[in-house]
Amino acid sequence: MGVTWSQFFPPAPTITEATLPSQEGRVFIITGGYSGVGFELCAILYRAGGTVYLAGRDEEKGQAAVVKIKAQCMTSSAGDVIFLKLSLDDLASIKPAVATFIAAESRLDVLFNNAGVSNPPRGSVSAQGHELQLSTNCLGPHLLTQLLLPTLRRTAAISASGSVRAIWTSSIVVDLSAPTIAIELSELEHPHANQQHNYVNTKVGNWFLANSLANQAGKDGILSLAQNPGNLKTDLTRHLPAIVPILTAPLLYPARNGAYTALWAAFSDRLTIQDGGKYILPWGRLHPNPREDLLAAMKSKEDGGTGIADGFMEYCNKQISGFK
């Protein structure tokens, strides 16, 4: 109960725009960058001198966000903020977006898999026919990360171990609502009737993706982490009944607070490569007591676990294989 309580009422952040060191010479991609946490991250990193790729599906909104950030964050640094057209719910759009990025950049220091969708109308599907939350929150980010992995590895080879990172966005629902089995794998092909249930599946899936990438690329010096950004006032709740944001308003924080969680995950020097696959809580701290059933799901049956994460990754890899 104490851990859950502290996610509703977190301690003060330790890495903010005021304490973040210069990011000149470093390159970032932030999905969902034109609103909410993504917008705040783009603004903070641009102000710190980073080259920031603001990724999203809507070019008009993206370019407007670029203009707004540059107008708000007058800086004499060498940083830049650039729109990158990318639709996570259309797997066919991701490889061209990556090609555009690698044609312009030779390095990538931190990938923020920030974008997500929650509780869209029942029956909402992606361009490839997957349940929309599964595609946007898991399949699209997984494909994006795998296509960017060569660039992340090249950057890691010339950087301090663990300074190149991939950040995956989960949610407090992992602690509160995930079933003891973690994910019923049959629901990936046959979604549950309850959209909140499907959302919970994707947020558990984000942790599985973070842990899988840590196992895959930790040896290369890439640190992969999952994070609950916090309970925030963002557009993520736009599909929920209108009464929900009203009732929860006293427990919600500004989107910038969520950016502080992501900043800690991306830049804290307290984290090492051995922390790969771990879970970050608001506004920047390691989860002190992850659920044992979820930890067991991330172990293979041979290692005494349930192997659920292996099954999830097998499914995800199969779905993205034709788009790499």
Residues tagged active-site:
199, 203
Does residue 134 sit in helix, strand or coil?
A: helix
CB 85 within 8 A of CB 58: no
215-247: b (≥16 Cβ within 10 Å) or e: ebbbebbbbbbbbbbbbbbbebbeeeeeeeeee
For 128, how many CA atoms within 13 A lie in the half-sphere containing its CB? Answer: 21
* Residue 58: both structure tokens together: 């809507």
Q: Cα 102 vs. chain centroid, distance in angstroms? A: 20
CB 307 within 8 A of CB 196: no
Q: How far apart are CA 104 and CA 99, in angstroms?
A: 9
Type of residue found at 125: V
Q: Are strands 279-281 and 285-286 parallel, antiparallel or unpaired?
A: antiparallel
Residues 237/43/144/187 CA torsion (nearest 10 deg): -10
Alpha helices in the chain (DSSP H): 2-8, 36-47, 59-72, 94-104, 132-134, 140-157, 173-177, 186-189, 195-217, 243-248, 255-267, 292-297, 308-320
250-265: b (≥16 Cβ within 10 Å) or e: eebbebbbbbbbbbbb
